[in-house]
Chain A
């Protein structure tokens, strides 16, 4: 099965011009609006400023700066560096973890794609576990980006598939099909977002700005592959298990009330590494690579194997 192939000229560039507006005006106004919200917030906080330690005050100040910041796409490089510094500091204050958050952009001449070999997958779900650890997924809600469906041999029928199997695998007479975000070429989730908090990057990865998302969940209704997850409560990852290698648009700490999704491990793949699920798969059922590179494995698979797209619409 091949992945949805992003357009060769991704609409990421067009998107940023749509969003490209004078930042100064937006920022001035956001301070104004934010001020009103802050007054309400301060009233409910009930802890007098004087009783706070300097560290608490600093954390409050940083949280406030975080609240009034703009959409990631409209930020200048300097603003991006500032918010990353704040987020790293807040991670240290809140959980005592030393994290590094990158803002590595899409590499030129790269569009990612992936393929899943239904003949090879044995249903071990090593990929699921690797994904949870790599992407700092909420342990309490047991959030998972990847779903492995067990089906009877002969026909691909998701309606009669089992994604919650709890028995020894591979089961006799069954095969396995994995789903996750396929990074659609023309993502229906991106189109519907009322605030432009989710978009497709030039390398084909659809990302979410967790701090811009308002949590309306329209994108979840629009996704044909059920690939998006919502933080129904504050996500929890034990400090010892936090993966400190993070990306602003990827596996950094999420908050309650926002949507998240698979990003092809954006923090790894933009540095030339494989996604965690691909690396973890013991059977080699997952193939990942640059669709624009004629010498890549994914291109060889697409050219030489019988492949199909998993269509749900």
Chain B
């Protein structure tokens, strides 16, 4: 067994790095501490310290949650071309994508926990000792699919990395079926989260058949955009080489998804505004303001502008192929989707209320602190996962207990040509 050296190597890898690495991890830790303090205030005084109220009963936390479920789902759907279509270029990107999925899920679960009024009663959700209202409640579905997805995304990379660490080739027969399951599962987590909102006729803003597909389209936009940014950062900050092919394929996926996303946004706007009905009143509040209440108007138009500009930019080949511009377009797109699908999706569902009352929402400092802390936690988890996964995947770090001859066969001496293997990434220095 190589479990102990695996854990030790992982710990060693995660805690070692250059000055910039430590500075980055230190800043994240600081932010997490700020978040922990803010959360302790919230625990002591209740959710009243947030900007939420009986009218806008979900705010920044659930907004981030819906956005991050998309990020988690999209990351895994990138697996499809890599492992199933045997696209070698892609496999390193996929390992990163799985790390993104895990980090996004950690953030999702954290955002749900901080949003719950009575977190100590969380055990009420556990079937057997508590009671999970499944299959009636979509929230019960979400609890199941999110946790199942987290397990899958932890188990598959662990199996692959642990095999490599122990000097074995991971067996496709073992992990490929789970990969298929995980890809289907990725679609399901995002659809379930969309249905959670779309299933409420009391909230006509969400109660639309397009919400599920829109969720998928925006996830497929923001997810690969984030992975591109991550790979760009890895390429800039480390000596690892990411193939051009991976970048161009991810950029293409992002571009097509961004286009579909805009088309769906257009249909939604047409449906709501060409023949306005009472059910479009929340959309009117979001896009144009209602009786002088227009807190979200600048946000949504900024998001639409960002999305449109970035999508158009990505459609121009020279821009998409230039790394600088690609990074910039992806960052813009990521922010645009975050606004559109976070605050811009959740909050207007509550304004005006079903009885027509308008109460606006502004997040409080405590809420912002907790949110920053959860994001820092996610980035921390992502950094650790990437930091540990890359050297193991590349064969730089191995179990000390592997027999000598096997090590020689697997670890290629520096400066030699890499041996091509169908599911192993190629590393050149």
Proximity bits, A183-216, B CB within 8 Å = 1, else 0? 0000010011111110000000000000011111
User: Inside 8 A of B58's CB, which chain A residues have their CB?
Assistant: 217, 221
With A and B bound together, what is the CA distance between A226 and B353 in angstroms? 7
Q: Which residue of A lies closest to B197 (CB)?
A: A221
User: B102 an interface residue at 8 Å Cβ cutoff?
Assistant: no
Cβ of B139 and Cβ of A216 under 8 Å apart?
A: yes
User: B404 an interface residue at 8 Å Cβ cutoff?
Assistant: no
User: B356 an interface residue at 8 Å Cβ cutoff?
Assistant: yes
Choice from B48, B199, B354 contacting A223 with Cβ under 8 Å: B354
Tell which of B46, B52, B124, B350 has the most Cβ of chain A within 10 Å: B124
Cβ of B117 and Cβ of A256 under 8 Å apart?
A: yes
User: Inside 8 A of A220's CB, which chain B residues have their CB?
Assistant: 54, 57
Cβ of B354 and Cβ of A257 under 8 Å apart?
A: no
With A and B bound together, what is the CA distance between A226 and B180 in angstroms? 43
User: A29 an interface residue at 8 Å Cβ cutoff?
Assistant: yes
User: Inside 8 A of A149's CB, which chain B residues have their CB?
Assistant: 355
User: Inside 8 A of A67's CB, which chain B residues have their CB?
Assistant: 120
User: Inside 8 A of B355's CB, which chain A residues have their CB?
Assistant: 147, 149, 158, 161, 163, 179, 225-226, 312
Cβ of B123 and Cβ of A30 under 8 Å apart?
A: yes
Proximity bits, A127-166, B CB within 8 Å = 1, else 0? 0000000000000010000010100000001111101000
With A and B bound together, what is the CA distance between A19 and B48 in angstroms? 32
Proximity bits, A57-82, B CB within 8 Å = 1, else 0? 00000000001000100100000000
Q: Which residue of B lies closest to A147 (CB)?
A: B355
Chain B interfacial residues counted at CB < 8 A: 52
User: A34 an interface residue at 8 Å Cβ cutoff?
Assistant: yes
User: A222 an interface residue at 8 Å Cβ cutoff?
Assistant: yes
Cβ of A256 and Cβ of B46 under 8 Å apart?
A: yes
Choice from A161, A196, A215, A222 contacting B117 with Cβ under 8 Å: A215
B4-12, B128-136, B264-272, B292-300 - interface stretch: B128-136
User: A103 an interface residue at 8 Å Cβ cutoff?
Assistant: no
With A and B bound together, what is the CA distance between A253 and B272 in angstroms? 44
User: A93 an interface residue at 8 Å Cβ cutoff?
Assistant: no
Proximity bits, B41-83, A CB within 8 Å = 1, else 0? 0000111100011110110000000000000000000000000
User: Inside 8 A of A30's CB, which chain B residues have their CB?
Assistant: 123, 129-130
Q: Which residue of A lies closest to B136 (CB)?
A: A191
| Minimum CB–CB distance for B185 against chain A, Å | 20
| Minimum CB–CB distance for B241 against chain A, Å | 46
A-B pairs under 8 A by CB, number: 162
User: B352 an interface residue at 8 Å Cβ cutoff?
Assistant: yes
User: Inside 8 A of B112's CB, which chain A residues have their CB?
Assistant: 216
Q: A221-B349, A230-B54 given as contacts; is B124 within 8 A of A214 (CB)?
A: yes
Complex interface residues of chain A between 254 and 268 (CB less than 8 A to chain B): 255-259
User: B126 an interface residue at 8 Å Cβ cutoff?
Assistant: yes
| Minimum CB–CB distance for B362 against chain A, Å | 15
Choice from B53, B125, B281, B356 contacting A194 with Cβ under 8 Å: B125
User: B138 an interface residue at 8 Å Cβ cutoff?
Assistant: yes
B200-208, B248-256, B409-417 - interface stretch: B200-208
Cβ of A312 and Cβ of B202 under 8 Å apart?
A: yes
Proximity bits, B103-130, A CB within 8 Å = 1, else 0? 0000000001001111111111110111
Q: A161-B356, A214-B125, A225-B355 given as contacts; is B120 within 8 A of A191 (CB)?
A: no
User: B140 an interface residue at 8 Å Cβ cutoff?
Assistant: yes
User: A224 an interface residue at 8 Å Cβ cutoff?
Assistant: yes
| Minimum CB–CB distance for A295 against chain B, Å | 34
A112-120, A231-239, A269-277, A278-286 - interface stretch: A231-239
Cβ of B131 and Cβ of A312 under 8 Å apart?
A: no
Cβ of B353 and Cβ of A33 under 8 Å apart?
A: no
User: A308 an interface residue at 8 Å Cβ cutoff?
Assistant: no
With A and B bound together, what is the CA distance between A149 and B356 in angstroms? 10
Choice from B116, B123, B128, B200 contacting A221 with Cβ under 8 Å: B200
Choice from B46, B119, B281 contacting A231 with Cβ under 8 Å: B46
> With A179-B355, A212-B121 given, can you name 19 additional A-B contacts, CB distance below 8 Å?
A26-B128, A33-B129, A67-B120, A147-B355, A157-B356, A159-B281, A159-B352, A159-B356, A194-B137, A213-B117, A214-B116, A214-B117, A217-B115, A223-B354, A224-B354, A229-B54, A230-B57, A231-B117, A312-B355
Selected A-B contacts with CB under 8 Å, 15 pairs: A34-B123, A161-B356, A192-B137, A192-B138, A195-B133, A213-B117, A213-B118, A214-B116, A216-B117, A218-B139, A222-B202, A226-B54, A232-B48, A232-B53, A256-B117
Binding site for A on B (CB under 8 A): 45-48, 52-55, 57-58, 112, 115-126, 128-133, 136-140, 143, 196-197, 199-203, 278, 281, 349-350, 352-357
